[in-house]
Structures are given as C-alpha cells and as structure tokens.
Structure 1
Amino acid sequence: MAKKIGYFLSSEEFGPRELVEQARMAQDAGFEALWISDHFHPWNDAQGQSGFVWGTIGALAQAVDLPIGTAVTCPTIRIHPAIVAQAAATAAVLTDGKFTLGVGTGEALNEHILGGPWPTSKVRREMLEEAVQVMRELWKGENVNHRGTYYTVDNARIYTLPDKPVPVYVSGFGPASARLAGQIGDGYVGTQPDTELLGAFRENGGQGKVTQGGYKVCWGRDRDEAVKTAHERWANEQLPGELAQVLPQPAHFEQAQQLVTPDMVAEALVCGDDEEAHLRRFAEYSDAGYDEVYINQIGPDQRGFFDFYGQRILPQLKGMRSQ
C-alpha cells in the first residue's frame, strides 16, 4: 500500500490563484503531499494556462504545510540548471525542507521557445545527467566552476540554501530513462502503473529509493459530462509514441488529438463518481510498487472532487494502509 497519497496540481489547466486554493482544499480533504506540473505552454488551448511554477510554489509554501514536488521540471534547455538549482534551493527553504525537485528530459512543447534545436532522446538524457551534476555541486554552497559538454558555470555560488541538499527525483517514461533515474536520482517519477519501468529503476541503483506515481481522473455526478470534460481538456494524454516529446506547439497537439475519441478517453481514465472505480485505479498504482501516489482532478468541479475524496475515498485508502 502506498505510504503517501498526494494531489497533483495542473499548471496547464489552472492559474496560480486557483492552484493555491486547490492546495488548501487538498490539505483540508486529507491529502498528504502535492505535485505541481511545470510548463511554459499548455498542451492545448482548452487547458488555457501556464503560470511560472516557481512563483506558484512560493505562494503554496505560505498557504499550506504539505510537502511539494515538481512533476516535472526540465533543467536542461529552457532554463539553465544553475538557475533551477537556485530556484529549487529557495523553494526548499520556504517549505522547511519539504520540497522535492522532480526532473525530466522535457518536451519540445516547452523547450523550443528560445530557438535552439530539439536534441535526440539520447542527448537529452546526457544533458539531464550533467544538469543534475551541476545542481548538486551548487547545493554544496561553494564556488562552482564547471566546463562540461553542455553547460558552463563560471564562479557561481548559491547562498540561500536549505539545511540538506534538495532531493532530485527523475522521471522515466521509457526503459532508458528509468535506468538513468536509478543511476542518478534520489527517487523516481512515473505516470503509468508499469512494473517493468519500476523494475528497471530499482535494478539500476534505485533499490530503496522513493518512487512517485501520478494519474488523472475526472470526478462528476454525470459520467457522460465527465468524459466530455476529460476529452476536451486532456485528449492529448492518449496520443501514442513520442508525439508528446516532439510536437512543438499546442496547435499541433490539437490537430493530433482529433484522432482521440471520447470512448478512448473513457476507457483510459476514471470518469464519474463510481467509488469502486476510483479505488481500483489507486490500487493499480499502489500495487505496482509506488511509494507515493498523486491524483489530479480534471475540470472545474474541484470542490466536488475534494468533498468526494475527503469523505469517501481517502478514509478507505488510509484505512487499508493502516491494516
């Protein structure tokens, strides 16, 4: 049984004030931690938001007492790893050490904006490995000079630091990334209940490290309406292969997701208010071996979701955990 049950804040679908209010509702409902996504663009215009995550995290740290993690930040192209290191250190100070930096190799959707090329997946993994090295050096609080394959740091020192270095959890959506996560990460981030990926992480240095998994639901009294909402806002999640990594604009995702039908979304996501369906979806992630599981509610009815989970779902999940 997962040791921690968290809520996943969507920076693509809600503005920063809404996210702070959702964090308060999550804490009041009994959620135990927060994830927050880090995007420059939403996946499509129906989502409609893309606030600067570090500003939102500062507000969250003052609004709630829950641990916070990014799911996930790309510290390689759009923002230099030295700047991400400073931002993460400040977030850790604001949260009294309860901040985790989730990182990944990113998507062209967010990283192309400065006009540089979009590297191959192999190069992106190499960049991520070097970026993590740079950040960890800076978190020692000493002057850092780094001349690497991808990054240069010239006589830089971070002065505002937490008592302990920021934990770095690495996302792994394929076998190579899962192996890298085990080798360089303090933990693992995934979005599928895939025991093979979790196994690859653990077999390559991840044994005993924290694993975090997350997924989306669309709670609502009317299941058909919930399916419609999920399809309008998050059909992009059902696109196959590497499209999520290589398409550069929300308009391209809108074109591609025309191939995704409402039935496909209904089959992939839990929609509606069937209590057993919500419990089964959580169990898939917990049974796969995730230590922490984060749930995101799609659409505007956040209050209804938190009431439902706070009264009906979380008590059962916590009860099973204590058995």
Structure 2
Amino acid sequence: MDKSSRKRNKTTSATFSNPESPNSDIAPSEDPASAIIDVSAVEVPELTEQEQSDRLHLERKVERAFFEAGKALAELRDRRLYRSTHRTFEEYCKDRFSYTYRHVNYLIAGSVIVDNIKMGTNSSQNEQVEEMGTNSSQILPTSEVQVRPLAKLEPQQQYEVWQMAVEEAKGKVPTGRIVKDVVQRIMERTKVPNTYQIGEVCQILAKDNPELRGKSGCWCIVVAVHDFSCTVRLWDGELTVGVQHLKSFDYLPQECQQMQQVCDRITRLRSCENLEEVAKAVLRYLGELKRPYLTDVGEGLLGFLELASGG
C-alpha cells in the first residue's frame, strides 16, 4: 500500500505527530494541510427525566419574566411600597431598577394583557374539554413587545387577535411584528375612517394647514370623534382637526389620564385673572410637552404657579 493510500485509510487525532519524527504519518516533504483527518463524532447524551423537567421549569420562568415583573411593579405602585425611600413611584423605579417610567407602564399593561389572554385561553380550553375531552397547550407571550399592539383592544379581542397571530406563526410564539400586522389588518377590515378614541393623547401635525400654525408638535387630548376629524383639547382651548393632522403618541391609558390631569391643572391656571406673562410662558412650555408626565422641574413650576394663584 502506498503512502497516500495509508493516509486516507488511517484515522488520526486532531493533533498531528511531529513531521520530522521517523514514526510520523506525514512525511516532511508533504503538505500537512492536504492530509485527510477523520474525527470520530462525539455522542451527545439524552436529557434525563429530571433534566427535562428542569428545562421546562426554567423555560416557563423565562416566559413569565416580563409578566411577573409587571404584576410585581403594579403591586409596588398600588400599595405605595416605595414611600419609605422615594417620593414618587417614577423615582423609585429609576433608582431601584433603572427603568424608565414608560417602560414600567409597558410592563404593567403587558401583564394585564397576558391575564386577558390567559382567561380567554382557559375559557376556550374548558369548552374543548367539555366537547371533546381534550386540552390544548397554551401559547403565551414571552415578551412585552409581543403584546404591545394589543393594548387598545378590548380584552376579548386581545385573546382573539393573539390566537390569530399564533396561527400565523405556525403554532409558535409570534413576534411583535406579526401581532401588529394582524391588528392592522383587523382595523382595515372594519373600514372605520377614524380610529382615534376619546381620551387619546395625540400630537398636532400642522403641515400646510394655516389654522394650525404655531401648534405643530403640541400635544392634545381627543374629546370627540367624528367621521374624518376629531375635536381635541389643547392647553389653551379646543379645536376640530382632520385625522391627517393628528398622530397618536400611543400612550397607555394611565399615561393618557396623567396628561388629562396636567391639562386640567393648566386650564384652571389659565382661567385666573391677571395672569402674568411669565406664568403664561411657563404654561405654554408645559402645553408643548412631548412626554406623558412632568419632570421634577415641571411639577415644581406648575405647583408654584398653583400656590401663587391660590389654586
């Protein structure tokens, strides 16, 4: 047998012998890179029953992570368990978890949506058990982003849309993009020209409308919904604008309520007689905020004006 045949038939380890050694399989005159190496496959042991159980347990923990975080944050907020160290829930979340206020609200709202999906799923499973004696497995969200598009739907709609998204994902957990696309298709099928809701916080888009000059970028709150327009409330009054001049901030219900409170406080101050120009400038600044809450500075300014006016 010649030397090349011997190299093809011999199984070697991944580490070559010294090519200069008399017992080497590769002669010094040959290129080691051209040698054929046969590496035995490493057999991967199957998971034991205990390992399979542990894996399932840990996977469920991962899936429930954002859900449990949202439930815990809601309880911390509702019971004001932060009050011994922080003045506001926002400050507490920022210091303790490095969470923005918006992220906290998304987590809390997401946990509520998951509860709604669970209720719908359990109801559907009970019907299946009664009719067929079977029980289908739950496909639940694993990320807050996946349920965010469902926030404006009714609880029963949230469950139904989630099931449609699961089907579109071929029985797997759908991405946020899939859920958003399903929600968008449903909205288009309803053929409702105006999808804004009363209490929704929007941004004014002046574009080429001279009546909206000076109000571009200002926040407003929808107080009435018409076929192709909305009556909105700004910091300095109300007006009716076409839907093409509005852009939703996609705030959560709680954030919309906070902006409504800010608007009410500004309106009360504007009704005060002999309001100084400096105070008007401050109210104008607060009326053009692009976030659903006041900073400490903003709250301090508004509180000072309320105190000065006796409000």
More helix by share: 2
TM-score range, shorter chain: under 0.3
More contact order relative to length (CA 8 Å, sep ≥ 6):
1
Normalising by the residue count of structure 1, what TM-score does the alignment of the two structures yield? 0.24
More strand by share: 1
Normalising by the residue count of structure 2, what TM-score does the alignment of the two structures yield? 0.24
Larger Rg: 2
